[in-house]
Amino acid sequence: MHPVIERAGAAAELPAWARCGTRRRAHGVRVGDLLSTWAAHLDLPEREQIRWRAAGVLHDAVKDAPIAELHDVAGDGWPDPVVHAPACAHRLEADGVEDRSLLDAIRYHPVGHPDLDALGEYLILADYLEPGRSGSGGKRDRLRELLPEGRPDVLTVVVRQRLRRLLDKNRPLMSCSVDFWNRLVGQ
Ligand SMILES: [Fe+2]
Ligand SMILES: [Fe+2]
């Protein structure tokens, strides 16, 4: 395991390039803790539990960087609200991280992608359902309690809510988000 991933997963340590305030850092740790709990529940080996936790700890690691800097790092085609995700994946790649599954989980966590594996899907779920986001009448708590076993059904609910929010604001959808949705509903 790459040392940046090991340190994030085992000690919730962020790399020197992270741009992430206290509250966001706490959100990342909660997402990571939820992911490692699910990984343990799914009987994944300890190494995988550390790797899943790292994905959560790191997923928003550059979200507080200036937006122009994030676009510079991420390249074209990413809307402002999601550009922190590919920018973080790029930073990890520049550090020598070659774990494609973890990189894609981070890169696509706000938008989805049809090629995401279990880690990528659970990161979307943990980001949306981590206990610090509770509220909205306990609906998130109820969805979280269905996991990790209820992944396909809960993922469909969560992704539908995210897409609906964009549609209600007349915002464009990325094609990878549409393809992800079509895969989820079996089209
Ligand atoms: Fe994010
Ligand atoms: Fe997040």
Q: Can you give the pLDDT of all 187 residues of the chain as single tens digits?
A: 999 999 999 999 999 999 999 999 999 999 999 999 999 999 999 999 999 999 999 999 999 999 999 999 999 999 999 999 999 999 999 999 999 999 999 999 999 999 999 999 999 999 999 999 876 668 899 999 999 999 999 999 999 999 999 999 999 999 999 999 999 999 6
Residue 142 confidence (pLDDT): 93
Residue 48 confidence (pLDDT): 98
- Residue 182 burial (10 A CB sphere; 0-12, 13-18, 19+): exposed
Domain at 3-184, CATH homologous superfamily: Hypothetical protein af1432 (1.10.3210.10)
Q: Which ligand is nearest to the CA of 109?
A: 1
15 CA to centre of ligand 2 in angstroms: 17
Residue 138 confidence (pLDDT): 86
60 CA to centre of ligand 2 in angstroms: 5
Q: Which residues surround ligand 1, an ion (CB under 5 A)?
A: 60, 110
Q: Which two tokens stand for residue 95?
A: 């550090």
131 CA to centre of ligand 1 in angstroms: 16
CA–CA separation, 38 and 102 (whole Å): 16
80 CA to centre of ligand 1 in angstroms: 11
2 CA to centre of ligand 2 in angstroms: 22
